[in-house]
A and B are shown apart, each in its own frame.
Chain A
Amino acid sequence: MIGFRQKELSSVIEIDRKKCKGCDSCKAFCPTGAITGKYGAVHGVDNEKCLFCGQCLVNCPFGAPRDTADSVNAVIAKLKDSRAAVVGVIAPAVRVAIGEEFGLEPGTLTTEKLYGAMKQAGFKIFDNNFAADQCIMEEGSELIAKIRHYALGEPAHSHHLGPLPQFTSCCPAWVRHAELNYPEILPHLSSAKSPQQMAGALAKTYGARDVFKVEPENMYVVGIMPCTAKKFEASRPEFASAAAYWRKQGKTGLYPDVDTVLTTRDLARLLKKMNISLTAAAGFTDADNPLARYSGAGTIFGNTGGVMEAALRTAYFVITGQELATLEFASVRGLKGVKEASVAMKDAKTGKEITLKVAVVHGIKENLAPVVADVAAGKSPYHFIEVMNCPGGCVNGGGQPVNPMGTSWIDKYKAILPWS
């Protein structure tokens, strides 16, 4: 396998030879052309090109692609193990989709039921929305340091500053895409980890010490994600910073920050296997757990434009010293392929005017290339660019409940024309 490091998952999606009809539907959704096999022949996945985004899986009319990284039984075994403290890191987009697996309408908010069902299963809760808020603090501070340095002419911060524009780094499929196909723009990626990995590192340090009060080596952190690419992300070897932190404090042990990842579908399967019904579960708010507290900005990370909107709310406050009068940014919401916004603000420190220009890209198969080409050529007009692999963002991720008609029909005509 070219392009993988030790311990990294090198395959997540596999196409079932018996179910594949060779209809080429998946090719209309695959962002990197990783599907092999001509029209009519049984298709396969080229793992060296695959981003593990799972868009083929959620759009195949025959249900042929499968997610092979299945850890449902391993997690159930850990939940039954009394020595293990199993922490479920719940991503934003899971709460609006898992209800579909239990007969609820798409979009039904199930946060409290989901906490309740997971508590019943034996999970401790770490809401990834908390980590999303934290991600805004880290990624936003990095962006503001860059703006202060490059646009307002202040001396550089101690943090190593990459060039502007800054790309978001929350989407593991986008990060892998950049690493594989656009290595020249890697310095533009925010150095902030994705919320899942921040959550893992924080859970096994601060969480273990101050919140859950367990030994970090006994913790088993499970990402509950709308995403198949998160399974790959969790397996990246550098994401073992909690263990490195504790080694400096004299403890021993080698463990990853996030031990395993379940998709929304996997979690529904786990609950059903344990005879827990989401709809019948008692609601639970986990009010005493600081790691289950989140802001509205953290929750909209699941939508395209959500990370940007959350970042703008905080960046505006940090630069101007005032809260935004209107928190909603309609221009970064919705399903347009590339969305733009510009926000004029006055720096409270220096009194200089600055117009922050941002762009939001989702559905990278159709919309990414021109934006990245501009950045590579050094003529991008933006300061901050959000990229999400899946059309619509994480709510339509490859780990979400599957609708037989497919869920990614934004450029519908392209998918039904035989030559596309």
Chain B
Amino acid sequence: MANYDYVEKAIKVSRREFLGLAGAGAALLWAGAYVTTDIFVDRTKYIKLRAAGMYKDDAKAKIRQSHNNPAVAEMYGKFAGKPLSPLAEELFHTTYVNRAKLGGKS
């Protein structure tokens, strides 16, 4: 091992400097904690609660399939005939527009 002189540099931190450093450290820790909780904490609460409400409405329903809804069957019987009938086409179907071709003044 090579010979060398090594004298540890004497660090002197005044009380005021120490407080400053501690403050900077605390701020770093706090910011880090804020960012990590922001990533890991579950903030999809609203979507999940509302979605659960919808599924609850489904689970408690007596009729759970659209084709078994008697009121819909009654409507087709009295009025529209059957799905995709000419009247159903007229009232319940539509077309779309290519808005890129519509133009207009900007």
Instruction: Please give, as numbers and ranges, the residues of chain B lying within 8 Å of A224 by CB-CB distance.
Output: none
Q: Chain B contacts of A134 at CB under 8 A?
A: 66, 72, 75, 92
A201 and B92 form a contact (CB under 8 A): yes
> Which residues of B (61-75) have their CB < 8 Å from a CB of A?
61, 63-72, 74-75
A110 to B79, CA, bound (A): 31
Across the interface, B64 reaches (CB within 8 A) one of A239, A241, A296, namely A296
Which residues from chain B contact A403 at a C-beta distance below 8 Å?
46
Asked whether A11 is an interface residue with its Cβ less than 8 Å from the other chain, the reply is no
Given contacts A159-B84, A310-B66, A327-B65, contact A105 B96 (CB under 8 A): no
B74 and A290 contacting across the interface, CB-CB below 8 Å:
yes
Residue contact B50 to A138, C-beta cutoff 8 Å: no
Highest count of chain B CB atoms <10 Å: which of A93, A412, A413: A412
Chain B nearest CB: distance from A270 CB in Å?
A: 21
Interface residues on B, range: 35 or more
Provided the pairs A4-B104, A106-B45, A133-B66 are in contact, do residues A293 and B71 lie with their beta carbons within 8 angstroms?
yes
In whole angstroms, how far apart are the Cα atoms of A108 and B49 in the complex? 8
Chain A, residues 171-206, CB within 8 Å of chain B (1/0): the string is: 000011011100100100101110001100110011
Interface residues on chain A, size class: 35 or more
Interface secondary structure of A, over-half rule: helix
Q: Mark A79-119, 1 if CB is under 8 A from B, else 0.
A: 00000000000001101110000000111110100000000
Residues of B within 8 A of A93 (CB): 50, 54
A62 within 8 A of B: no
A134 to B88, CA, bound (A): 10
A96 to B75, CA, bound (A): 27
Query: Would A317 and B65 count as touching, CB distance under 8 A?
Result: yes
Does B47 lie within 8 Å of A313, measured CB to CB?
no
A412 touching B39, Cβ below 8 Å: yes
| Cα-based distance from A171 to B98 in the complex (angstroms) | 17
- Complex partner residue of A296 from B43, B50, B52, B63, CB under 8 angstroms: B63
**Which partner residue on chain A sits nearest B57 by CB separation?**
A299
Q: Does A223 make an interface contact (CB < 8 A)?
A: no
Residue B3 CB within 8 A of the other chain = no
Is B53 in contact with A291, judged by CB distance below 8 angstroms? no
Taking the closest CB of chain B, its distance from the CB of A403, in whole angstroms, is 6
| Assembled-state Cα–Cα distance A37/B43 (Å) | 27
Q: Does B99 reach chain A (CB closer than 8 Å)?
A: yes
Residue of B nearest to A111 (CB): B57
Contacts of A302 in B (CB 8 A): 50-51, 54
Q: Tell me whether B84 and A145 are in contact (CB under 8 A).
A: yes
Which residue of A is nearest B93, CB measured?
A191
Residues 122-151 of A, flagged 1 when their CB comes within 8 A of B and 0 if not, give 000000001011101110111001000000
Can you spell out 7 A-B residue pairs with CB atoms less than 8 angstroms apart? A2-B104, A5-B97, A93-B50, A96-B57, A241-B90, A299-B57, A317-B65
Question: Contact residues of B with A, CB < 8 Å?
Answer: 35, 38-39, 43-61, 63-72, 74-76, 78-80, 83-84, 88-106
